[in-house]
Amino acid sequence: MQTPLVRLLHDKGHTIYSISSSATVYDCAVKMTELSIGALLVIDNNKLKGIISERDVVRKLIGCACDPAAVLVADCMTKNLVTVPPSTTVQEAMRIVTKRRFRHLPVVENGKLLGVISIGDLTRWVMLSQEQEISALTGYIQGETR
Ligand code: AMP
């Protein structure tokens, strides 16, 4: 739980899936489906502008019965992006996504985007660490009782 996110990014890779704010929400939905992901960072001229997730599409478009091909990402994305530095621990990141109720955390250092950690990455990491701890403790107990 005290592992910094930089370690998770090292294992996961630094690939960043993004879209421009001038693309349509339809393009965005197609890209998310092709990549099997739930969110895209919105980047214009190498600048991080926000995030658009499947929840934005459902909440902001389906509700008003708008045509996704006629709405721009700029008008559907979340602009007040919460980012974290790579030194943020898994525990701190878990707290943030739980409290804020979102599933994606861009990792940024000195203005440079390093990658994105999702709630799935965090859950996978916690499960793996717990399995390793249980295995180590089981080995220790069995070794002691032999
Ligand atoms: P998600 O659970 O990540 O699919 O996103 C739920 C809502 O939170 C959507 O409106 C997203 O645009 C927004 N959102 C997702 N990640 C972030 C983030 N890191 N900072 C701010 N808003 C976000």
How far from each other are the two terminal CA atoms of the chain, in whole angstroms? 31
pLDDT for 145: 62
Rg over alpha carbons for the chain, rounded to the nearest Å, is 19
Measure 48 CA to ligand 1 centroid, in angstroms: 14
**Residue pair 52/42 in contact by the 8 Å Cβ criterion:** yes
- The CA 75 to ligand 1 mean position distance, Å, reads 15
Half-sphere exposure for 88 (CA within 13 Å, toward CB): 24
54 C-alpha vs ligand 1 centroid, how far in Å? 9
Ligand 1 atom with the smallest distance to the CA of 83 is 19
Task: Out of 53, 62, 101, 114, give the residue to mutate to test ligand 1, the one with the largest number of ligand atoms within 8 Å of its CB.
Answer: 53
Per-10-residue mean pLDDT, the chain, length 146: 92 92 97 96 96 93 87 96 97 96 95 94 92 89 76
Euclidean distance between CA atoms 132 and 112, whole angstroms: 33
Q: What is the pLDDT of residue 84?
A: 97
Burial 83-98 (b: 16+ CB within 10 A, else e): bbebebebeebbeebe
The DSSP secondary structure of 9-46, one letter per residue, reads HHHH-----EE-TTSBHHHHHHHHHHHT-SEEEEEETT
Provide the CA 96 distance to its chain's centre, in angstroms: 12
If you measure from the C-alpha of residue 7 to the centroid of ligand 1, how many angstroms do you get, rounded to a whole number?
A: 23
Q: Which atom of ligand 1 is nearest to the CA of 56?
A: 10
Q: Which residue's alpha carbon is nearest to atom 11 within ligand 1?
A: 53
Query: Which atom of ligand 1 is the closest one to the Cα of 105?
Result: 19
- Ligand 1 pocket member 88 (CB < 6 A): no
